Structure 1
Amino acid sequence: MEVRPKWTEEELDIIFSKATLVQDGLRKDASGEYIHRDAYGKAEHPWGWEVDHIKPISEGGTNKLNNLRPLNIPANRGRNN
């Protein structure tokens, strides 16, 4: 099993930028939920987000940037993968 990396700030910026811009710092993720750059990893924040693997590691996905996207924490944890 591949170990989840610690993302650099540069990688997080790239990943976050994949979401649709709404206004400064606020974006919508692929599930239509709001996320905020400063709320990365903050489960208690309504706009908290995590890095999601589009194709899960368990299904042969990778940790490469083209397989990563930002996703609101409840939406990401609800994917069960």
Structure 2
Amino acid sequence: MNVPWKVGVSLALTMAVSYSICALLYMLWPAQGVAFLSALFHGLDFARLQAPQDYSVATFIGPLLVLSVWGAVVGTLFAWLSNKLHGKS
């Protein structure tokens, strides 16, 4: 049986780590990051959306918090629903 909040925390931490790695790679190689994102979305030109501002701690922390909270909520809901559908309390 999955304890829903543990699954939520696990997803939140996974999202935080993966976002941090992604942000580090983008900070080091922004042009390649935009090119990768454009390729990932079948050639959609993300370079036009690239903000002229420098990458900062604030632009890192905000999305990190949002993704972490979202991961915790979604992971908890997923585990709770999974337990209910499988007849576990």
Structure having the larger proportion of residues in helix: 2
Normalising by structure 2, we get a TM-score of 0.23
Structure having the larger proportion of residues in strand: 1
Higher RCO (C-alpha under 8 Å, 6+ residues apart):
2
